Amino acid sequence: MPLTSTKSADVFLHVPRDVSIPTDRPSRRAGAPSRSKPTKTVTLVFFIPGNPGLISYYHPFLDLLAKRLGKRQRQDRWQDRQAVITAGLSLGGFDVAKNGGDHDDDHDDDQSAAEEKKKKMRELMYPSRGSHRGIDDGGGGANNNKSNNNRIYSLKDQIELCYARVQSLCDMIREEYHGRLDEGEKGSTGPDGVKVILVGHSVGTYICLEMVRLWHERRLPKKEHGSSKHEREEPPWTMSNCILLTPTIVDLHSSASGRIATPLLTSVPFVSGCVPGLAQLLVHAVVVKSVLPAHWLRGFVKKVTGMEEGGHGLDSTMAFLESQSGVRQALSMAADELREIRADRWGDEVWGAAVDEDEGDATTSTTPRDEGERNENAENRKCPPRMYLWFAKEDHWIADMTRTDILRNRGQRATGQQRGPTIVIDETEGLVHAWCLEQSEMVAAQVGRWLEEIME
């Protein structure tokens, strides 16, 4: 069935209606003209949430972003040369659908079509190929609901899962996009297929950088056994840009909140291992099994968090607390973050990894195999990275010293490139770490400006 816009508790997918992405593959006589001319380039803006990883926290932000991009497309006629699809999914283990709390804004009277759409979204959430790269989903992929429902995802699992999701979505886009193309037209999307722009928040920014690393790692030349011949495993998508919002990418344990959470969640193995499960049992007993009226519990959460009635933040938080394993998933993953997000672990293949179609592939290698490859890599290093980082002036999850080190070591002055990573420290807007609750409009405006700059 066609790839269409969807907004649910676990999935946000915006496919512009005024952009031709053929999907129904009607049969045509040889030489007959296509009914619609497909867009030349497809760009996927893929958003990765923080922890807790419910995409519903970001619905207002993603709605505003999709509307802004759509308006700009119509004004500047971007749609004549590219389609922009915006997507975001809840992280593994945080889905609400498995608890019966999912809903879809697209009400479909055709029951079979609705079921087919749900099946497609489940496959997108948990691609069957996820187990191929280190994710053990019980061998059933998206269809193994019991396995997906009960498991707790580590930080490494989340990275692999997000990578598999982008791969799966790009496969869907390419398959449908090529549906009406003649053989001579199929080169119009370019050799790299879908262009992907990653946008991440908090731990989602760390996942973004690790995905960039994996993308480059998995497209390196592979040496055949007993031969000097090399082949590239080319993904069907190009890693184009990264936008990192209140990024927690280095030394998370050194932050104000990290210094408190690290001893509790990581220091004593037995105690640390019990905390997530005990917390889940406690929350489940209080929130789900409680004999107290539901509005009392909702009122208590409002009082503790300061969230307002009717806001998306309160609804998302209640869904998170009522879920079967959300609290355990959040705390287990937080422990992984505190253990693993330490020193800057990325080289030029990440910080200088952006691909610019007009300037070449910025992939680098630390061990060139011959003079030609060495010269090629030297030229590639000149290509400016396409990376944007936006820090809050004060952030309890990012130490001031950590932020300063990133600016000093990775900023434009440090790299000597005028178009190096754009690093912005908010001084006037009052950006906070949990901006998705009350600052969606402000952040969508800034991210929108960066995306427009990228796509010009």
Structural domains of the chain, with CATH: 6-25+38-252+343-455 (3.40.50.1820)
Tokens of 183: 């053989």
What pTM value is reported for the model?
0.82
Q: How many CB atoms lie within 10 A of CB 22?
A: 19
| Cα–Cα distances in angstroms (integers) from residue 393 to residues 367, 429, 440, in the given order | 39, 9, 17
State the pLDDT at residue 164: 96
Tokens of 279: 């917390």
Tokens of 151: 């498991």
Tokens of 1: 């069935």
Whole-number Å distance between alpha carbons of 127 and 164? 6
Q: Are 153 and 92 in contact (CB under 8 A)?
A: yes
**pLDDT per residue rounded down to tens, the chain (456 residues):** 678 899 999 999 999 875 555 444 444 444 554 445 555 688 999 999 999 999 999 999 999 999 999 888 777 666 566 789 999 999 999 988 655 445 555 555 567 777 887 888 888 999 985 444 555 544 444 444 445 567 899 999 999 999 999 999 998 888 876 654 444 444 444 445 789 999 999 999 999 999 999 998 887 665 555 545 555 556 778 888 999 999 999 999 999 999 998 888 886 564 555 666 666 666 665 655 565 667 778 888 888 888 888 889 999 998 988 888 888 899 999 999 999 999 998 987 788 644 444 444 443 333 344 444 444 444 444 343 489 999 999 999 999 999 999 988 887 654 555 556 889 999 888 999 999 999 999 999 999 999 999 887
Whole-number Å distance between alpha carbons of 392 and 280? 31
Q: Which residue has the tokens 């005028």?
A: 418
Of the candidates 252, 237, 308, 247, the one whose C-alpha atom is nearest the C-alpha of residue 87 is 237
Whole-number Å distance between alpha carbons of 253 and 251? 5
* Total residue count of the chain as it appears in this document: 456
State the pLDDT at residue 322: 85
Instruction: Read off φ and ψ for residue 432, nearest 5 degrees.
Output: -115, 165
Q: Which residue has the tokens 């099946």?
A: 119
| Cα–Cα distances in angstroms (integers) from residue 102 to residues 109, 125, 151, 233, 416, in the given order | 17, 13, 19, 37, 49
State the pLDDT at residue 456: 78
The burial of 85, by beta-carbon neighbours within 10 Å (0-12 exposed, 13-18 middle, 19 or more buried), is given as buried
Cα 447 vs. chain centroid, distance in angstroms? 14
Q: Are 137 and 150 in contact (CB under 8 A)?
A: no
Q: Are 27 and 74 in contact (CB under 8 A)?
A: no
State the pLDDT at residue 117: 79
Whole-number Å distance between alpha carbons of 340 and 338? 6
Q: Are 448 and 324 in contact (CB under 8 A)?
A: no
Q: Are 282 and 437 in contact (CB under 8 A)?
A: no
Whole-number Å distance between alpha carbons of 29 and 23? 18
Peptide bond into 52 cis (omega under 30): yes
